[in-house]
Amino acid sequence: MKFSPALLTLAFILLTTIGMAPSHGDAQEPATVYLEEMTSPELRARIADGARTVLVPIGGTEQNGAHMVLGKHNVRARILAGMIARQLGHAIVAPVISYVPEGAIHPPEAHMRFAGTISVPVATFESLLEGTARSFRQHGFHRIIFLGDHGDYQQAIARTAQRLNREWASDPSCRAYALPAYYEAGQTAFAEHLKAQGFSDTQIGTHAGLLDTSLALAIDPALVRTDLLGPDKPPVPREGVRGDPRAASAALGLTGVRMIVDASVAAIRKLPPLE
């Protein structure tokens, strides 16, 4: 996957902001943390060298109002997982899981009422997570960590991790984890921070509002149609927006990015050691 120069520049700014950018004295850029950018022998070598943690970013393809693209969760989950992996060291990022439960298809409910949303049954989603985790265990990973960027499937992730760990009870060297800290930092904690800055619950919102849009602007401005966010363009609830994104900014979103990365790294480092 190729990133635009603007996105690469923003990524460097984000890394610098949280102390993760390479120093100017480094002759080479750090190796990729993304599994899909490696060859099989390269990945095998990384695992042998100690990269035994794999982060599985989980996004979702859903409507985000008129001002934000359908793939918001997928882009956000991928980039944030990469930042978390680089700060952890010896961690690999799996391809984003972008097909998730989004409500009944027929008759449509929730986000499925809007064009472009893709939904799969909960059982299918959990089966996909199980197959993903079993694959990584087979290849030698010891920690399989699910990072869910969407609220509706958090319980499904937790159930799946519990089921896998029961299956692997006789093997203390490998465990699956749901990581609530990732989602909670980007939603609850970041929302509290925004309220402390003087923004109202109505502005912050729960979907495609100030919080959601600020995170998107910080991750990749191309995710947002900023020409639709003027003061004379109030959000339209029937377009799927729950909140008011007009005051959103990348500067606000950078704080949320730092909170998500820091909380996730801290939670992973606190996981109990494996045998």
Q: Is the pLDDT of residue 23 over 80?
A: no
CATH of 32-269, one of 3.40.50.1370, 3.40.50.10310, 3.40.50.1220, 3.40.50.12280: 3.40.50.10310
Work out the percent of the chain whose per-residue pLDDT is above 70: 89
Q: Is the pLDDT of residue 18 over 70?
A: no
Reported pTM: 0.89
User: pLDDT band at 26, cuts 50/70/90?
Assistant: very low
Tens of pLDDT, residue by residue over 229-247, are 888 887 776 788 999 999 9
Give the residue-averaged pLDDT of 211-240.
Answer: 90
User: pLDDT band at 14, cuts 50/70/90?
Assistant: low
Q: Is the pLDDT of residue 20 over 50?
A: no
Tens of pLDDT, residue by residue over 34-85, are 999 999 999 999 999 999 999 999 999 999 999 999 999 999 999 999 999 9
Tens of pLDDT, residue by residue over 129-162, are 999 999 999 999 999 999 999 999 999 999 999 9
> Average model confidence (pLDDT) for the chain?
90
User: pLDDT band at 226, cuts 50/70/90?
Assistant: very high
Q: Is the pLDDT of residue 252 over 70?
A: yes
| Owner of token pair 């984003």 | 96
